[in-house]
C-alpha cells in the first residue's frame, strides 16, 4: 500500500457532538438489555470521546442535551455533511425526529448550505458512509427509497450507491471506512453480502473483523479511532491505514446500538 489519500490527511474544522441526557438509559434498543445502561459511565466515556476528538479537529461543538430525546447523543443520524453542503435528515424513528432542530440551526450558523429530507423520506446518518467521493447508503429499517433520493439530490456531484441492509440497524453498524479505498467489515454473512453489492458498484477492498459491532471505526484526518471494548486484536491491522490509531471505550453507547461514528458529525 504505497499511497496515501491526501484529502484524508486534512484536519477537519469541526465535530458536532451532543451531550448525554438524563434519560439516556431509555434510548431505543433493538433487543432488551440484559444489563442496563450506566449513565455516569456513559458520560465519562462521552467526555473521553470528546477529548480524543479535540486532538483531531480544530473545534468540537458540544450541543446541549435534551431529556425529551434519549437518543440525542447519536447525533450522526441527524445530518450528512460533505464539503460545504449539509443534508438534515428525517430520522427513521419517529421519537427522534425533533433531534434535528438544534443541529439544523448549528449547521446554518456554521455557514453550510443546508438541505432537508422531506416526508415521506426517511434517512438516518448511520446509513451513509462517505468513501472516496462516493456515498454508500443503506436501505434499512430507518432509511427508505425517498431518503436515498434526497441524498442523491443534495449531493448531485457524488455517486450514490444504495445497499440493502437486511439485518441490524444501519449500514455503518456492520462496516466502515479505514482509508486507502478499504472498508472494515463484520465477518457475518449479511455484512459480506453488503460488501459484494458495494464491490459491484465500485472498486473498494475490505478487511474483516470477527466480532459483531467491532467494524464501526471513526476515520478522522490521519487517525482511526476504534472501539477498544472489543479488544485490541485489530489495532495492528488499522495501523496499515492511518498514521495514528486510538482506542476508545464506548460500551454504554453500544448497549444503545450505537458505535463510534454515531456520536459525532464531522465537518471538513
Q: Does 256 bind ligand CIR (CB under 6 A)?
A: yes
Q: Is residue 85 a contact partner of residue 113, using CB atoms and an 8 Å limit?
A: yes
**In terms of CB distance, is 162 or 259 closer to ligand CIR?**
259
Piece in contact with ligand CIR (CB under 6 A), picked from 12-20, 71-79, 110-118, 184-192: 71-79
268 vs 265: CA distance, rounded Å: 10
Cell of 136: 454508500
Q: Does 28 bind ligand CIR (CB under 6 A)?
A: yes
242 vs 239: CA distance, rounded Å: 5
The SS3 call for residue 17 is strand
Given candidates 39, 50, 93, 110, which one binds ligand CIR under the rule CB under 6 A?
Answer: 93
255 vs 29: CA distance, rounded Å: 7
In the bound complex, what is the minimum distance in angstroms from residue 29's beta carbon to ligand CIR? 6
Q: Does 126 bind ligand CIR (CB under 6 A)?
A: yes
Q: Which residues of 153-173 are buried (b: 16+ CB within 10 A; e: fewer)?
A: ebbeebebbbbebeebbbbbb
Given candidates 117, 258, 260, 264, which one binds ligand CIR under the rule CB under 6 A?
Answer: 258
189 tagged catalytic: no
Which residues are catalytic, by number?
170, 262
* Contacts with ligand CIR, residue ranges (CB under 6 A): 27-28, 71, 74, 76-77, 93, 96, 125-126, 169-170, 172-173, 256-259, 262
Amino acid at each position: 500500500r504505497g499511497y496515501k489519500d491526501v484529502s484524508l490527511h486534512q484536519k477537519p474544522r469541526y465535530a458536532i457532538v451532543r451531550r448525554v441526557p438524563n434519560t439516556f438509559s431509555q434510548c431505543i434498543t433493538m433487543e432488551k438489555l440484559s444489563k442496563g445502561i450506566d449513565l455516569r459511565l456513559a458520560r465519562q466515556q462521552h467526555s473521553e470521546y470528546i477529548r480524543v476528538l479535540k486532538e483531531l479537529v480544530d473545534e468540537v461543538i458540544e450541543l446541549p442535551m435534551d431529556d425529551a430525546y434519549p437518543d440525542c447523543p447519536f447525533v450522526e443520524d441527524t445530518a450528512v455533511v460533505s464539503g460545504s453542503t449539509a443534508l438534515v435528515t428525517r430520522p427513521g424513528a419517529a421519537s427522534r425526529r425533533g433531534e434535528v432542530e438544534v443541529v439544523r440551526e448549528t449547521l446554518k450558523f456554521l455557514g453550510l448550505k443546508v438541505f432537508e429530507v422531506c416526508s415521506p423520506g426517511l434517512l438516518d446518518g448511520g446509513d451513509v458512509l462517505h468513501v472516496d467521493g462516493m456515498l454508500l447508503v443503506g436501505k434499512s429499517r430507518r432509511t427508505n427509497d425517498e431518503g436515498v433520493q434526497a441524498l442523491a439530490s443534495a449531493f448531485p456531484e457524488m455517486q450514490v450507491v444504495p445497499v440493502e441492509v437486511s439485518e441490524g440497524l444501519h449500514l455503518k453498524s456492520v462496516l466502515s471506512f479505514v482509508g486507502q479505498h478499504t472498508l472494515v467489515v463484520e465477518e457475518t454473512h449479511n455484512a459480506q453480502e453488503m460488501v459484494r453489492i458495494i464491490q459491484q458498484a465500485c472498486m473498494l477492498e475490505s478487511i474483516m473483523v470477527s466480532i459483531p459491532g467491532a467494524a464501526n471505526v471513526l476515520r478522522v484526518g490521519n487517525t482511526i479511532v476504534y472501539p477498544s471494548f472489543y479488544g485490541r486484536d485489530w489495532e495492528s491491522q488499522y495501523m496499515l491505514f492511518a498514521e495514528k490509531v486510538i482506542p476508545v471505550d464506548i460500551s454504554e453507547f453500544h448497549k444503545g446500538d450505537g458505535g463510534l461514528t454515531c456520536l459525532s458529525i464531522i465537518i471538513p
